[in-house]
Structure 1
Amino acid sequence: MAAVVVREYDANKDSRAVEEVENRCEVGPSGKLSLHTDLLGDPICRVRNSPAFLMLVAETAASGEEEGEIVGMIRGCIKTVTCGTKLSRNGKNGSNKPPEQLAVCTKLAYILGLRVSPSHRRMGIGLKLVRKMEEWFRENGAEYSYMATEKDNEASVQLFTQKCGYSKFRSPAILVQPVFAHRFKLSKRISIIKLTSADAEALYRRYSSTTEFFPRDIDSILNNKLNLGTFLAVPARSTYSKWWPGAAAFLLDPPESWAVLSVWNCKDVFTLEVRGASRLRLALAKATRIADRVFPWLRLPSIPQVFRPFGFHFLYGLGGEGPNSAQYMRALCGLAHNMAQERGCGVVATEVASREPLRLGIPHWKSLSCAEDLWCIKRFGEDYSDGAVGDWTKSPPGLSIFVDPREF
């Protein structure tokens, strides 16, 4: 095998070669439906919006008159997130207030988009790319690194857990809902308020700051051009449906039940395509669309054209409280469905913790969803920003996680 050199991605000369490798690589276990990703001409777009990011490529060494060939790539980013909580000191400065939960943060790195050309697999190239990326993580002060993969992707799981020292950490669920030809009918008993970015930030920092993986730079996410808005569902008869006093006042006296989420436009970053479907499955999907066009009054749940490139919206920051919060979340997901329909998306997707209480209110198709995604994590050093947490890799999962839309 020719020597392989790992270097930083050069947009001026590497984009076409990287795209070719992406086209040869499918995401998904062998023998099943797989997803093909098209990054719309910008291979680094999936990490570009992160606070710190890097893309590396693996290139065979040039020999004689032959130029080197790019045979693999990896992307990584670094940010500061919540990794646990601690109690405030009760009675500090003479205060009689009870202790409250305070977020403990850490500098976290994330690996995504590891690809190796099929003709160069099982040669140690993936391991070489991961180790080089981890060097950059350490140099930039990351305390932990994590990655996500399909639970049954044995090659990826073995690479990270057996060769790179990662441990299995969390198993969230990816929930995917098709975008149908019919609009979701919103309940008149629920009012939906679109928050300003300032109010959305205030609400998330007060309500979600102690949620695992909550990003400290939430303001950058909410003010990004890909963010389509943050929406709050409240009872239609509540005061807040008529007059909005601001996020701080809302959280001081919230209604009995409410829910919130934000929408991220992945359609302008990359498209997906489902491959590997049998002729029978393709025919059945087409039949549902034909039947829906012929009998529109029946409002049949037809399968959108996901066997060609399609865009999607990602729902993040899901939260809420109260006995009817799942019902309010369903209304917000309906609004998101209608937004996706207007923008020509094929599906709406989100990712939530396996024990997320609001999961009951998130409509999805089991055949398109992933019940257990696998997140693996690695601890780089013994030094911590706060000794109250200890080793995050050994902490039990909470009810919720905050999934960063920049990394989905």
Structure 2
Amino acid sequence: MKIYKVIGLMSGTSLDGLDLAYCHIWETKEGWEFKIHETHSISYSAEMQDKLKNSIFLPADQLLQFHNTYGAWLGEQTKEFINLNLLEVDFIASHGHTTHHQPQNGLTFQIGSGQHLANTSGIKVICDFRTNDVALGGQGAPLVPIGDRLFFGKYDFCLNLGGISNISFEKDGKRLAYDIGLANMVLNHITKKINLEYDEGGAMARSGKINEELLVQLNNLEFYKLPFPKSIGFEWFVEKVVPLVDATQDSIENLLHTCVHHVCDQIALQIKAQNNKSNTSLLVTGGGALNSFLMECLQEKLGPKIKVIAPSPTLIAFKEALVFALMGVLREEKKPNCLSSVTGAKRDSYGGVIYLPC
């Protein structure tokens, strides 16, 4: 039995930082198993947040230059993580950071050059997990459902609350998944108006009231009416959501309260539409699972027949990094890590490009 020793790297649309998870992953007769041994989160500086946030507007040559320097920076952080914890590592599986996601145009791009990451860290790297799926006509997203199926299949639904909310579940023998809509991306956008990174525990949101006009505008966004498979990126947020929020004259507390209700409205609609059981389990991970007001609001909207479950803080925070470590393992074994039933691609595939240090 081979045990893969992998570092998973994840940087999400919420722009809160880089997650590193050192994982052991192996396959038994019963299925895939994992253990997370070491973790570390690196908060982005205000300068790095701005660079990542605004990279979508960079000319091509400047974007590619940032792609390289960010890859080298990832390598520096990973090398320090390895040395500090004296880790034995087979390879690094890196998501990178999504700057452009336009699957309708056959385009997705995650910065963080694999070659620069490999050269700087001195470790083999597997990255660029989305491009092959998009080349096969898929959305290139969400990718975490392969981990939901192989690691967390005992739950009826798996919900991730990062910058974006996405859902994953089994139906008729197939894994289905798609982006539901907003999550931390809009909440963090609001708190940054008062120079606050995030609303800890949802305390500010809890003290607010619903702005009915904004709630209706958000719930009527065209994306929510589209059939799945579907996915969204930062471009959609900037174009469709930011103007609505920024044009609403109300308190920060009321804006947050309204957006939490909006997030939960859309999640509840989707889960209720897909659920046909009387007793249902919903596993919630990602930063939004630490927002107690959001979690209470979601449970209330779902009702008592659907149980909202938050796992350990480590799994809440590092599940995506863990799953990208798994995707790297599956790429090594040439087994599918992108499911066509999820992305809408022509076929299942194994995504990921391998870079060797030199």
- Larger CA Rg, structure 1 vs 2: 1
Higher strand share: 1
